[in-house]
């Protein structure tokens, strides 16, 4: 059985998290109508507001670096935080582990399934980002780099949520752990910054502070700034490609590690199962 | 041939001995009633057999496969229903079973027929398209049992399957276990409610304080566990005094009690002496309406072999 095709865990997670099968037809229609109105309205408002290149360049960091990054950095881990704990709380966990599913199938099925709603948010914003980028005169490679960093950020934060879900017995505990972890990841580097400033003798350049290279808000805000503002990371720092590369690699490596640990422990068998 | 072999199984939890060198053998097609008070070690044994718990020492084999050495192969041969179980409320009944059939790698093309079959065995066909959430506790119990059947296991491990069920649901559950036995399944069913096991178990194992007290076919175990036979002797009212005299004077009769018009005779003797007692009654002119050995029930047996201690 492949990891992706015919993986019942993935199919179930997608079905539960994306479909509204338990709702009545009226509730379904209402929800779809609300989404159908809200998204075009958001698009129309933003694109109307960003009529010229200058305004488009100004609001891109707010939309992409602020709103979208915040949504994904909070949405992805919180949704993943209940992936394992709900199974334990509902006492369905052992039944699942007794089947012939491989640990990687369980972990990846849970991970991808719980990430799906965040991926939908990402996909909804993508055309808007592209339109704003085109209007602000952003180059295609920069836009692609920005989209990759954003996707890597979403994957990383989702993996943090899944790890907390595996490590905690209760959803409430997992949610608390996730919140603390996200706060530490976002605020931690900024708290270290004054220390770095006080010990460095060179002229202060925030782009040279390596711990911030992994900070989603920092990188996304800088990335989404466009040439029109005259203050892009690329203009100010030759470190730009290194920062992007480091951010994506760090996110990918951390994500892989956070998924690898529960998969290996599940494969260990009984000790994990008694949870 | 033994399907389950347990050898000197021991499990300790931080100094507490939950299982103390338990050895047991269960033949194919048997329904074993695993009896003991709460905390006696029943669930621990079942969880070890289900590959969910590692023993401190000893070994357990199912169909010749060691549960610790090849848990995957063991899981393919067992269906485990825990004492407290959950179901996915956001599935329909058939979807729930299809999900587990898929998780057990049943080919997609075979699943619809299989789901219908287990629904039929567990009498849930009429609920095929109902939401799991809408089922009663008894039905959820049956659904959980149906889930354990989707991969056609040889051995069913049912830990307190009837707990929390109303009397009707219990009776239905018992009937279902009988059907499963007829299908050739070997079943280990634990319970501390004895009457629910007595009707359909072929053998019994009583465990207390982590120690196996007695095990074997029910009739044998009951016979062995008895210190004395209890005979029921029924005579007409007019012969009662004579019968009491004969019974009281017979060697081996420990006590005679009249209950509901029938003498309950506590008799310390073998089958030959029992025959001699009947002859003595008849020779004395007592007309005997009934003369039978009272086999007792599981409750008697349980009380006799246990001391009311927990692990």
Calculate the CA dihedral of residues A206, A208, A211, A214 and round it to 10 degrees: 90
Distance from CA of A18 to the nearest CA of B (A): 13
CA-closest candidate to residue A70, choices A180, A248, A217, A258: A217
Distance from CA of B51 to the nearest CA of A (A): 7
Of B47, B52, B103, the CB nearest to A101: B103
Residue B121 has pLDDT above 80, yes or no: yes
CB atoms within 10 A of CB B296: 16
CB atoms within 10 A of CB B258: 12
Which tens digits make up the pLDDT trace of A12-21?
Answer: 999 888 887 7
Question: How far apart (Å, rounded) are the C-alpha atoms in residues A162 and A168?
Answer: 10
Distance from CA of A197 to the nearest CA of B (A): 52
First to last CA, chain B: 31
Quote the pLDDT of residue B100: 94
ipTM score: 0.83
Which tens digits make up the pLDDT trace of B148-181?
Answer: 999 999 999 999 887 777 777 778 888 888 888 8
CA-closest candidate to residue B67, choices B57, B79, B54, B80: B54
Of A1, A95, A97, the CB nearest to B147: A95
Residue A186 has pLDDT above 80, yes or no: yes
Quote the pLDDT of residue B264: 85
* CB-based burial label for B208 (10 Å; 0-12, 13-18, 19+): buried
B202 or A175, which is more confident:
A175
* CB-based burial label for B216 (10 Å; 0-12, 13-18, 19+): middle
Residues of B in contact with A12 (CB under 8 A): 88, 91, 99
Which tens digits make up the pLDDT trace of B25-63?
Answer: 999 989 999 888 888 889 999 999 999 888 999 999 999
**Arithmetic mean of pLDDT, B229-241:** 88
Percent of chain A whose pLDDT exceeds 70: 87
Quote the pLDDT of residue A229: 47
Which tens digits make up the pLDDT trace of B77-98?
Answer: 999 998 878 888 889 999 999 9
CB contact under 8 A, A95 and B108: no
Question: How far apart (Å, rounded) are the C-alpha atoms in residues B294 and B267?
Answer: 11
Question: How far apart (Å, rounded) are the C-alpha atoms in residues A157 and B100?
Answer: 30
CA distances from B196 to A37, B165, B252 (A): 60, 11, 34
Confidence of residue B307 (pLDDT cuts 50, 70, 90): low
Write down the pTM of the prediction. Answer: 0.79
Calculate the CA dihedral of residues A160, A162, A166, A170 and round it to 10 degrees: 100
Confidence of residue A60 (pLDDT cuts 50, 70, 90): confident
Residue A232 has pLDDT above 60, yes or no: no
**Which tokens go with B211?**
């120690």
Residues of A in contact with B72 (CB under 8 A): 100
Calculate the CA dihedral of residues B300, B306, B308, B310 and round it to 10 degrees: -140
Percent of chain A whose pLDDT exceeds 90: 31
Residue A230 has pLDDT above 50, yes or no: no
CA atoms within 13 A on the CB side of B5: 9
CB atoms within 10 A of CB B251: 9
Question: How far apart (Å, rounded) are the C-alpha atoms in residues A94 and A90?
Answer: 10
Range with the poorest average pLDDT among A95-99, A139-143, A222-226, B274-278: A222-226
**Arithmetic mean of pLDDT, A69-83:** 91
CB atoms within 10 A of CB A138: 25
Confidence of residue A180 (pLDDT cuts 50, 70, 90): very high
Q: Are A195 and A211 in contact (CB under 8 A)?
A: no
Residue A234 has pLDDT above 70, yes or no: no
Helix boundaries (H) for B108-165 = 111-121, 137-149
């Amino acid at each position: 059985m492949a990891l992706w095709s015919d993986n019942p865990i993935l199919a179930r997670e997608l079905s539960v998290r994306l479909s509204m099968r338990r709702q009545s037809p009226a509730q379904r229609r209402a929800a779809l109508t609300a989404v159908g109105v809200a998204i075009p309205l958001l698009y129309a408002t933003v694109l109307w507001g960003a009529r010229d290149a200058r305004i488009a360049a100004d609001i891109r960091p707010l939309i992409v670096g602020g709103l979208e990054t915040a949504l994904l950095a909070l949405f992805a881990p919180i949704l993943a935080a209940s992936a394992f704990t709900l199974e334990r709380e509902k006492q369905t966990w052992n039944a699942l582990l007794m089947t012939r599913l491989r640990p990687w199938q369980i972990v990846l099925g849970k991970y991808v399934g719980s990430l799906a709603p965040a991926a939908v948010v990402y996909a909804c914003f993508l055309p808007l980002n592209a339109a704003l980028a085109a209007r602000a005169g952003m180059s295609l490679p920069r836009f692609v780099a920005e989209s990759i960093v954003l996707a890597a950020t979403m994957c990383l934060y989702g993996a943090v949520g899944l790890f907390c879900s595996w490590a905690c017995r209760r959803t409430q505990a997992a949610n608390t752990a996730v919140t603390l972890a996200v706060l530490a990841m976002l605020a931690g580097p900024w708290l270290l910054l004054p220390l770095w400033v006080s010990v460095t003798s060179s002229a202060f350049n925030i782009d040279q502070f390596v711990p911030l290279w992994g900070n989603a808000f920092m990188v996304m805000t800088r990335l989404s700034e466009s040439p029109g503002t005259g203050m892009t990371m690329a203009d100010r720092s030759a470190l730009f490609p290194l920062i992007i590369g480091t951010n994506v690699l760090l996110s990918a490596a951390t994500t892989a590690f956070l998924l690898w640990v529960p998969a290996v422990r599940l494969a260990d068998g009984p000790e994990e199962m008694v949870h | 041939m033994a399907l389950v072999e347990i050898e000197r199984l021991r499990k300790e939890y931080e100094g507490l001995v939950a299982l103390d060198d338990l050895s047991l053998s269960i033949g194919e097609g048997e329904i074993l009633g695993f009896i003991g008070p709460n905390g006696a070690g029943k669930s621990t044994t079942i969880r070890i057999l289900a590959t969910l718990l590692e023993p401190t020492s000893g070994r357990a084999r199912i169909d010749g496969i060691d549960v610790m050495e090849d848990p995957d192969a063991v899981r393919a041969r067992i269906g485990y229903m825990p004492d407290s179980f959950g179901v996915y409320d956001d599935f329909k009944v058939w979807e729930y079973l299809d999900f587990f059939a898929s998780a057990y790698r049943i080919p997609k093309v075979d699943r619809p027929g299989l789901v219908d079959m287990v629904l039929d065995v567990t009498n849930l066909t009429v609920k095929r398209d109902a939401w799991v959430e809408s089922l009663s506790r008894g039905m959820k119990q049956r659904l959980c049992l149906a889930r354990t059947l989707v991969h056609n296991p040889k051995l069913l491990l049912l830990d307190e399957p009837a707990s929390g069920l109303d009397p009707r649901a219990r009776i239905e559950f018992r009937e279902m276990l009988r059907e499963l036995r007829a299908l050739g399944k070997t079943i280990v069913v634990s319970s501390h409610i004895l009457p629910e096991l007595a009707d359909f178990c072929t053998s019994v194992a009583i465990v207390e304080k982590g120690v196996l007290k007695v095990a074997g076919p029910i009739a044998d175990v009951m016979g062995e566990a008895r210190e004395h036979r209890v005979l029921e002797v029924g005579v007409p009212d007019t012969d009662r005094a004579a019968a009491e005299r004969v019974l009281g004077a017979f060697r081996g009769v420990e006590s005679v009690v009249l209950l509901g018009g029938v003498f309950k005779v506590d008799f310390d003797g073998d089958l030959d002496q029992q025959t001699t007692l009947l002859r003595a009654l008849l020779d004395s002119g007592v007309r005997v309406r009934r003369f039978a050995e009272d086999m007792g029930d599981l409750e008697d047996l349980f009380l006799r072999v246990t001391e009311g201690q927990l692990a």
